[in-house]
Structure 1
Amino acid sequence: KASQLPLLSHFAEHCPLLFWKKLCVNPEVFDKILDQISGHLVFQNQSNNKQLPILIQLTIFLYHAGHYRNTYLLVGTVVNCTHCVIATLLDWHDKFVYIPGAQSEEM
């Protein structure tokens, strides 16, 4: 819910486990992804319709990806945020996506 966005800052600083439960990443990972995608062209808008801040778009995407629902958001908003974030992640695929090897202890 958009009304819960201010809580994420509190969770990031004081209750990282609650932050992770909402977005399925820890605050440090969230900040690194945000730093990496912030300069991407998909977030530059020449239209009269302003985009949501990148922080909010990333939050919506992570929540949606982690919980498979979009309650309290218009479907179009979820789709637009998801498209923007996915476009940047695809451009950075090799940097963001790590697949452990078959012999890795992480498997």
Structure 2
Amino acid sequence: MFENTIAALTNEVEKLCYLAAHVKAPHALQIQLLEEWCLNDNLKKFCHKLHVDPDVFASLITKLENHLVFNNNSNNPQLLVSVQLTVFSNGLSHYGNGATMEDIAEWAGISVGMVYNCYCQVMIALL
């Protein structure tokens, strides 16, 4: 009798766990806000997100953009150097739960693998 009750309860639990498919909550990309903050002279927010002044950021881009690591002969073009540096800087400027690749990927609107590639390529160029 108890076995039948336990089996029935197990079936109910299994059925209830899968009644509705998991739907990811909608979110808006935030990476485009950086340019808006620069244009609207809200440098505090820019610096808070990347921990670097926009002029320093622009200088880094000009120094890194001609590095060979950012060139490829593939049919799939790479992300712009500015985007890769943004992803890298954002990752460096966070810690704890905000530093996960998943969070940065969601913030930038790219895949986790692309976040990893950005980290690698920018680090190679800096070294």
TM, length-normalised to structure 2: 0.65
With over 3 angstroms needed to count, the CA separation of the structure-2 counterparts of 1:60 and 1:2, relative to structure 1, is farther
**CA RMSD of superposed structures (Å):** 1.7
Give 1:37 deviation, angstroms: 0.1
Partner of 1:82: 119
Residues 2-49 of structure 1 deviation map (CA, whole Å, 9 limit, x = unaligned): 822221112123111100111111111101101100000001111122
What amino acid maps onto 1:46 in structure 2?
N
Partner of 1:30: 57
Work out the CA distance in 2 between the residues paired with 1:12 and 1:20. Answer: 10
Q: Where does structure 1 lack aligned partners over 5 or more consecutive residues?
A: 91-107
Taking only the aligned residue pairs, the percentage that are identical comes to 38
What amino acid maps onto 2:120 in structure 1?
H
Work out the CA distance in 2 between the residues paired with 1:32 and 1:69. Answer: 27
Work out the CA distance in 2 between the residues paired with 1:35 and 1:86. Answer: 15
Work out the CA distance in 1 between the residues paired with 2:34 and 2:44. Answer: 11
| Alignment of structure 1 residues 24-103 onto 2, 5 Å | 24-67=51-94, 68-70=99-101, 71=103, 72=106, 73-90=110-127
Work out the CA distance in 2 between the residues paired with 1:49 and 1:5. Answer: 21
Q: For residue 45 of structure 1, give the secondary structure of its aligned residue in structure 2.
A: coil
Work out the CA distance in 1 between the residues paired with 2:118 and 2:80. Answer: 10
Tell me if 1:7 matches 2:33.
yes
Residues 52-96 of structure 1 deviation map (CA, whole Å, 9 limit, x = unaligned): 111111100100111123311422111100111001100xxxxxx
For these two proteins, the number of residue pairs brought into alignment is 90
Kindly report structure 1 stretches of 4+ aligned residues shifted beyond 2 Å: none
What amino acid maps onto 1:74 in structure 2?
S
Report which of the two structures shows the higher radius of gyration computed on alpha carbons: 2
What amino acid maps onto 2:61 in structure 1?
L
